[in-house]
A and B are shown apart, each in its own frame.
Chain A
Amino acid sequence: MTIVRAPLVFVMLFVAVSGCDEGPRNAQPAVEGNPQAGAAAIASYGCGTCHMIPGIPGADATAGPPLGNYARRVYVAGVLPNTPDDLVRWIRHPQEVDPRTAMPELGVTEEEARDIAAYLYTRTGGRW
């Protein structure tokens, strides 16, 4: 029976091994914020009228870029490194960072921006 089982073990091993996915390890974004409060802030500021955001009902717009899988993004808006502090800075004052951006200043507070960042970093996987 061993001869029959050997390929099966190999297949199982292969599946197990290929299941481990890569992801950010060095610059794992860690942000002190509350993802649930972030989801609520995203809804109340209407981020979904411009962005597609996974897990936010109705957030399916394409004016700005899609915000899925944000933990793996290397840059915020193509201009800042994707670190928690820089993402918070961008959410609060996009036009200070890049005067050319179409993203408006929305008066988001520091705490709300941290919560929003925390939410975005929890939504991993998928292509968006």
Chain B
Amino acid sequence: MVTRIVSTLLVLTILSLVGAAVYVYSGVYDVAATRQHTPPVYWLLQTALRRSIAVRARDIETPDLSGPDRFRSGMRLYRERCAQCHGAPGVAPDRFSLGMTPVPPPIMQAGREMSPAEIFWTVKHGLKMTGMPGWDFKLTDEEIWDIVAFSIAVPNLSPAQYYELAGIEQNPPEPTQAEGADQASGDAEAGRVALLQYGCIACHTIDGVTGPDAWVGPPLRRMRERKYIAGVLPNSRENLIRWIRDPQGVDPLTAMPQLGVTEKHARDIAAYLYSLDDAGREMR
């Protein structure tokens, strides 16, 4: 009896190893950053990442992080080394980081949801295969704790308060020029990819788009039924496009940053968001 179970297990193990090898070597899985992960793969990667950080941060002792000195030093370091990928309230990450997969989490959510020890460990050691470098050899532990102090405080600031503390002139870049007039309806499928490539998923949970469980901005569901966009514009295709391209021109107080979305891409994004039915499925 035992021998049979053992041999069955052995055969099953060999079969699944062969299956895994075929899957890997055939190159079936698409690693393009312009193609989203399948939800199970995404879940597996995210869970492994989260658990790995949590376990390793467990024994780190958090020093006193209060006080304006730590915050100021942390803000300076953060703006020099981190904001390029993780953004800041009302401030977009640099252009190059927008198409990264996984998308770098906005500091405003990570600072709320990760413990100080977890942020410390992540900054110090970095994360394999995410684009997050380890800062151990470039920053002292004290400097990393300063960044942690800033990270856990910044979610409690409004964008306006942050601009003031950081001494930023809020000066939204002009939206790029329209590219021709032949874009009446937009391409929903291209819009879905644009939602990945402009990093929209870093802040919004969006039906049909695999991404982090993001709660910086509101979830983008049932957009066809909404009466208002961002609470300030009547919901119409043209207004949605305007908002996507120039949110701070519409409402200077908003935390949504200027992302340099082109007219065509904004139109595609609008087409995708309006293509979703109540249940979040695409209508054809």
- Chain A contact residues, CB within 8 Å of chain B: 1, 3-4, 17-18, 22-27, 50, 62-66, 69, 72-75, 77-83, 86, 97-98, 100-103, 127-128
Contacts and interface: CB of A to CB of B under 8 A. Distances in A.
Interface stretch (B70-78, B94-102, B247-255): B247-255
Given A26-B155, A65-B226, A86-B158, 9 more contacts: A3-B6, A64-B227, A66-B221, A72-B113, A75-B108, A75-B217, A75-B255, A83-B156, A128-B219
Interface string B180-220: 00000000000000000000000001000000010111110
A80 B113 contact: no
A24 B155 CA distance: 11
Contact of B158 (A69, A79, A101): A79
Given A75-B217, A101-B231, A128-B219, A3 B9 contact: yes
B112 A26 contact: yes
A105 B215 CA distance: 25
Interface residues of B, number: 45
Contacts of B14: none
A83 B109 CA distance: 13
Contact of B231 (A23, A26, A77): A77
A125 to B, nearest CB: 11
Contacts of A75: 108, 216-217, 255
Contact of B253 (A64, A66, A98, A127): A98
Contacts of A3: 5-6, 9
Contacts of B221: 66, 127-128
A77 B256 CA distance: 11
B104 interface: no
Nearest to B219: A127
Interface in B135-157: 152, 155-157
Nearest to A25: B115
B225 interface: yes
B215 A103 contact: no
Contacts of A17: 51
B254 A79 contact: yes
A30 to B, nearest CB: 13
A39 to B, nearest CB: 21
Nearest to A102: B228
Contacts of B222: 62
Interface in B29-68: 47, 50-51
Nearest to A67: B218
B217 A78 contact: yes
A64 B160 CA distance: 23
A28 B164 CA distance: 25
A78 B230 contact: yes
B93 interface: no
Interface in B76-135: 106, 108-109, 111-116
Contacts of B256: 78
Given A27-B155, A79-B158, A65 B227 contact: no
B251 A63 contact: no
The listed residue with most B CB atoms (<10 A of its CB), out of A69, A74, A77, A81, is A74
Contacts of A78: 217-218, 230-231, 251, 253-256
The listed residue with most B CB atoms (<10 A of its CB), out of A3, A63, A81, is A81
B232 interface: yes
A81 B156 contact: yes
Nearest to B226: A62
Contacts of B226: 62-63, 65
B228 A25 contact: no
Interface string B159-174: 1100000000000000
B232 A101 contact: yes
A125 B212 CA distance: 15
A78 B251 CA distance: 10
B115 A81 contact: no
